[in-house]
Amino acid sequence: MCGIAGATGSPDVNIKVKKMLVALEHRGSDACGTYQAKNLSIGNTLLKITGDMPQPLVGKGALAVNGEIFNFRELASESGIITDSDTEALFSLIETRINEGYIPINAVFSVLSTVNGDYALAYACDNELVLARDPVGVKPLFYSAKKRKEKWKIIFASEKKALSTTGRELKPLSSGSILSFNLENGSLEERSLEIKPPQKRISDEFEAVFHLKAVIEKALELRLTSTSGIAFSGGIDSTFLAVLAKRIDPATSLYAVGLPDSHDITQAEKAAEAIGMKDSLRIHFLSVKEIETLVPQIIRATESVDPMKIAIGIPLYVVAKIARENGKRVILTGQGADELFGGYRRHEVFLEQGSEVIDREIYSDIKKISVVNLERDDMVTMANSVELRVPFLDKDVIKIGLAIIPELKVLKKGGLYIRKYILRKTAEDLLPPELLWKEKKAIQYGTGVQKILDKLARDAGFSQRDGKHIEKYLRRIALEKGFEFINH
């Protein structure tokens, strides 16, 4: 995991990029480097997780990557590449395509089509700049591209705050997009890595459980390291990951946060004991004062005054913080399970409207999860130099998940709905019934953070009766702190 940044347009562009990397230092303090060619510069701040390879890597072209390539050893072995670095393997594969005569965008597309990973990257070669983002958008990338006199003026970075002084209108690179800018003739090419719904569906429950368990176990195995922990609420998603992780690495740590006696703390303690991981559970009790102190930090990290982003961001930020203090560099979460397996109450309504409707909505949820959830989660974990990994959003898990018919995701039985039914059945032989079939609370309510934000807003003089009182409270804090994004 790292931070990347870059820009084009003037001979002194490298100075600008170095300033941007300073703003991204929290994303990786192990190393920092830049590459410049003519009026283009790309750079990287490195957080060492896999291998020890400072960036950008330079050969015929230059590569800067934020993220992890989980199947890099398999890809390297197939191509005769000897390395313990996922970045070096990726770079070698792209450069091989370039040497074979591929144009840069096709070289990047060809390699990324074989990759299982979470990434955002920049590759510069032969007067072309290629930007790419993983199919789900787990890793963020924001950019601005304007053409003047047939020349591109581009700026990009892992976080908007690195670009805050540019005054440019920024947007996220779409999930699964590969854009290639020709810096000489001003042309633009685009390719897509989007995961599309399969034609063949899985309607048999036994078959669905068999395939789903296999891909989830593999996804977790690829992402679990000796420096990783699990954000743990005691719900089906995090508990399923925990019990699978225990079989791979019995020393896996679990991290739970919440107000004393909150739902998530109580449930996490019960679940950890039930799966034999009580000694692995690390609990942090939040207080009103701590939440009040954290509010401006989370506003800055997420660059938002959206009440939901802040309420969800606070507990995840604290999980990452205590994990980092415990020597961890990676946090796994159950993000994506609700979207993929019908975990929201609204999915019940969609099911009533027909299979095609809920299918369409679940696919839409996956396509939007980057903007709705992942960018926020990345920002608050990386504010503590901790990498976010999401096994349920592995591309093979998504393919199987999309193939399973919706009636196995939201099961209607005796007038009642069982959401995430097929995921629960997949975990049935690993979890006791009291955990398997229990509904969970959303993190902002389960931890008690939402209640405290409501209190803080009212204590600050904002009336709940007038509406949007928490947002008004957050906006005032952002203005008082001078956060520039609040006026954008």
Q: What is the dihedral of CA 16, 192, 87, 181, to 10 degrees?
A: -30
18-30 pLDDT, tens digit per residue, is 999 999 988 877 7
Q: Which 3 state secondary structure label does DSSP give 393? A: helix
270-305 pLDDT, tens digit per residue, is 999 999 999 999 999 999 999 999 999 999 999 999
Indicate whether 46 pLDDT > 80: no
Query: Using an 8 Å Cβ cutoff, are 145 and 348 in contact?
Result: no
138-152 pLDDT, tens digit per residue, is 999 999 999 888 789
Which pLDDT band, with edges at 50, 70 and 90, does 48 fall under? low
CATH topology of domain 2-192: Glutamine Phosphoribosylpyrophosphate, subunit 1, domain 1 (3.60.20)
315-353 pLDDT, tens digit per residue, is 999 999 999 999 999 999 999 999 999 999 999 999 999
Encoded tokens for 119:
């990434």
Indicate whether 354 pLDDT > 60: yes
Query: Using an 8 Å Cβ cutoff, are 90 and 144 in contact?
Result: no
Indicate whether 133 pLDDT > 70: yes
161-179 pLDDT, tens digit per residue, is 988 766 678 899 999 999 9
Average pLDDT over residues 466-478: 94
CATH topology of domain 205-481: Rossmann fold (3.40.50)
Average pLDDT over residues 412-440: 93
Average pLDDT over residues 105-132: 97
- Beta strands 171-172 and 253-258, pairing class: unpaired
Indicate whether 210 pLDDT > 60: yes
Indicate whether 474 pLDDT > 50: yes
Which residue in this structure is represented by tokens 């300033």? 19
User: Would you tell me how many other CB atoms lie within 10 Å of the CB of residue 117?
Assistant: 23
Indicate whether 469 pLDDT > 50: yes
Distance CA 31, CA 87 (A): 14
pTM reported for the whole predicted model: 0.94
- Beta strands 228-231 and 330-332, pairing class: parallel
User: Would you tell me how many other CB atoms lie within 10 Å of the CB of residue 234?
Assistant: 28
At a CB cut-off of 8 Å and minimum separation 6, what does 262 contact? Answer: 446, 447, 448
- Helical H segments across 383-430, by residue range: 395-403, 421-426
296 to each of 112, 292, 418, 455, 474, how far by Cα in Å? 38, 8, 38, 16, 8
Query: Using an 8 Å Cβ cutoff, are 29 and 45 in contact?
Result: yes
Residue 69: φ, ψ to 5°: -105, 105
Query: Using an 8 Å Cβ cutoff, are 53 and 85 in contact?
Result: yes
pLDDT at 488: 46
Distance CA 81, CA 21 (A): 30
In which element (H, E) is residue 157 found?
strand 151-157
pLDDT-wise least confident of 256-260, 287-291, 388-392, 410-414: 410-414
Query: Using an 8 Å Cβ cutoff, are 216 and 404 in contact?
Result: no
At a CB cut-off of 8 Å and minimum separation 6, what does 29 contact? Answer: 45, 47, 385
Of 132, 111, 129, 14, nearest to 61 by C-alpha is: 129
Average pLDDT over residues 226-239: 95
Average pLDDT over residues 407-416: 91
Average pLDDT over residues 192-213: 95
Which residue in this structure is represented by tokens 């700026």? 155
Burial grade of 318 (CB within 10 A; 0-12, 13-18, 19 or more): buried
412 to each of 409, 415, 418, 438, how far by Cα in Å? 10, 6, 6, 16
Distance CA 122, CA 2 (A): 13
Pinpoint the residues of the chain covered by CATH 3.60.20.10: 2-192
Q: How many residues does the chain have?
A: 488
Please, what is the average pLDDT of the chain? 93
Indicate whether 410 pLDDT > 80: yes
